[in-house]
Amino acid sequence: MNPDPKKPSPFTVSSRAPRPLGPYPHARRVGNLLFLSGIGPRHRETEQIPEGIEAQTRSCIENVKAILEDSGSSLEKVIDVTVFLTNIDRDFTAFNRVYGEYFETLQSRPTRTTVGVVALPVPISVELKIIAEIGT
């Protein structure tokens, strides 16, 4: 809720990314930083989850890209990425390859932490948590 309609809302719920699974926005702006909630690979319209880590990784990054753009940012302005993989031993190499397709060529590459987890809230293999700059 934005009490002052003249002031932009600090929250983003993108119409181009899958709906949040709970009562939270896709992103929240604080100063010149944008904090994204954990973003998975679900498709916005169908709620389908792509099969395989490579397809899920591409879908996650495309969802992140849409949220960043709808918030006034971009992949080029990502500062930090936290990656959650449910099978890090099996999926790390393939995930890393697809991740590199998006981030390796950027002039300012983000820092990254990759964590193996037992499970995520829905049956997905990967979720991304992002911090990006905005308005600079």
Q: What's 11-133's CATH class?
A: alpha beta
Residue 41: strand, helix, or coil: coil
Backbone angles phi, psi at 74, to 5 degrees: -165, 170
For 57-116, give the secondary structure using H, E and C.
HHHHHHHHHHHHHHCCCCHHHEEEEEEEECCHHHHHHHHHHHHHHHHCCCCCCCEEEEEE
How is 118-136 classified by DSSP, letter by letter? S--SSS-SEEEEEEEE---
Minimum mean pLDDT range among 10-14, 29-33, 57-61: 10-14
Residue pair 51/110 in contact (Cβ under 8 Å)? The answer is: no
Domain ranges in the chain are: 11-133
Section 126-131 average pLDDT: 98
Whole-structure pTM value: 0.91
d(CA 23, CA 72): 22
Tell me the per-residue pLDDT of 50-106, one tens digit each, with 9 for 90 and over. Answer: 999 999 999 999 999 999 999 999 999 999 999 999 999 999 999 999 999 999 988
